[in-house]
Amino acid sequence: YGLSEIYHEKIKESDLIGNPGCYPTSVLLPLIPILKSNLINFNTIIVDSKSGVSGAGRSPSLITHFCETNESFKAYKVATHRHNPEMEEILSFESEQDVRITFVPHLVPMTRGMLTTIYADLLKGIGYEDIKNCLNSFYTDKPFIRICPKGKFPDTLHVRGTNYCDIGFTLDLPNQRLILVSAIDNLVKGAAGQAVQNMNIMFGLDETKGLMNVPFPV
C-alpha cells in the first residue's frame, strides 16, 4: 500500500505498489500518528472532506459539468463512499483496533485541491503539546509533510501543484475534542505525485526527485 510516509520501508522492498486515493491520503496522514500514539477515542472519528472537481477523474458525468458545479457546494455519497472501507482497514491495521469512521465527502466548485477536517474525542488528560509532539516527531525528516504552527491551518492554495500535505490542528477544549485539518493537491500528492514518490523510493532514489519544482502560477 503506497502511502509513502507510512510504508516507506515496505515500499523499498516491493515490486508492485497500490497507490492510495486522494481522500485516503488526506485522511490517513494526519490520523495514523494520533491513533498509533493512542491519543483519541477511536470510536468517535468523523471526517469531513471537500474535493475539487478533478477528484472525480477525467470521465465526464452530470455532477462534474460546469453548470452543475459552478456556484454549487454539495455533499455526495454520504457514508457510502468507496474509499471508506480502505481508510477503515488501514486505520484498524495501524492502531490494532477495530476503527470505524463517519466519512462525508463534498464537491466544491474548484478545479483541484482537497481539504479534510477530522473530529475525534480526546482521551482523558491529553493536551495540545501531546498532539504537537506526536505529529512533529512522527513526521521528522518527512520532506512532504508540513505541520502548521499554532493558530494556523492548511489552505488548498498553499499546496496547489505540489506534493505537500499540510496538517494543522486545534483542541475544542470545552468538548474535549481534537480537530485536525489537512490539505493536499488531489492530482499530485493525491495521485501522480505520490506515485512518483513511491517510484523514487522503490529505485533507491531521493524520494523528492522530480517533485520539488516550483509549482505553476496560481
Is the four-CA dihedral 148, 154, 158, 162 of positive or negative sign? positive
Residue 84 φ/ψ, nearest 5 degrees = -60, -50
36, part of any domain? yes
Binned at pLDDT 50, 70 and 90, residue 57 comes out as low
Is 77 inside any structural domain?
A: yes
Please say if the pLDDT value at position 218 is more than 90.
Answer: no
d(CA 64, CA 56): 8
| Residue 129 within a domain | yes
Amino acid in position 36: K
pLDDT digits (tens, 9 = 90+) for 147-198: 999 999 999 999 999 999 999 999 999 999 999 999 999 999 999 999 999 9
How distant, in Å, are the alpha carbons of 80, 156, 187, 197 from that of 113? 21, 5, 8, 19
Q: What residues act catalytically?
A: 22
Confirm whether 165 is domain-assigned.
yes
pLDDT, residue 130, reads 99
Tell me the pLDDT tens digit for each residue of 89-130: 999 999 999 999 999 999 999 999 999 999 999 999 999 999
Indicate the pTM of the whole model. Answer: 0.94
Per-residue pLDDT for 134 more than 70? Answer: yes
Could you tell me if residue 212 is inside a domain? no
Amino acid 217: pLDDT = 62
Q: Do 86 and 130 meet the contact criterion of CB atoms below 8 Å apart?
A: no
Structural domain boundaries, residue 90:
8-202
The pLDDT assigned to 203 comes to 97
Chain center to CA of 34:
13
pLDDT value of residue 42? 96
Q: What is the distance between the alpha carbons of residues 29 and 16, in angstroms, rounded to a whole number?
A: 21
pLDDT of residue 68: 77
Give 192 or 64, the one with higher predicted confidence: 192
User: How many domains does the structure of the chain reveal?
Assistant: 1
Q: How many helices (H) and strands (E) does the chain have?
A: 7, 7
Q: How confident is the model at residue 69 (pLDDT cuts 50, 70, 90)?
A: confident
Q: How many angstroms separate the Cα of 23 from the Cα of each of 50, 113, 200, 203?
A: 9, 11, 22, 26
Give backbone dihedrals phi and psi of 174, rounded to 5 degrees, phi first: -60, -30
User: How many CA within 13 A on the CB side of residue 176?
Assistant: 10
Q: What CA–CA distance (Å, rounded) separates 165 from 37?
A: 20
* Domain harbouring 113, CATH code: 3.30.360.10
Tell me if 134 is assigned to some domain: yes
pLDDT tens readout for residues 3-46: 999 999 999 999 999 999 999 999 999 999 999 999 999 999 99
Report yes or no on 45 lying in a domain: yes
* Mean of pLDDT values over 65-74: 81
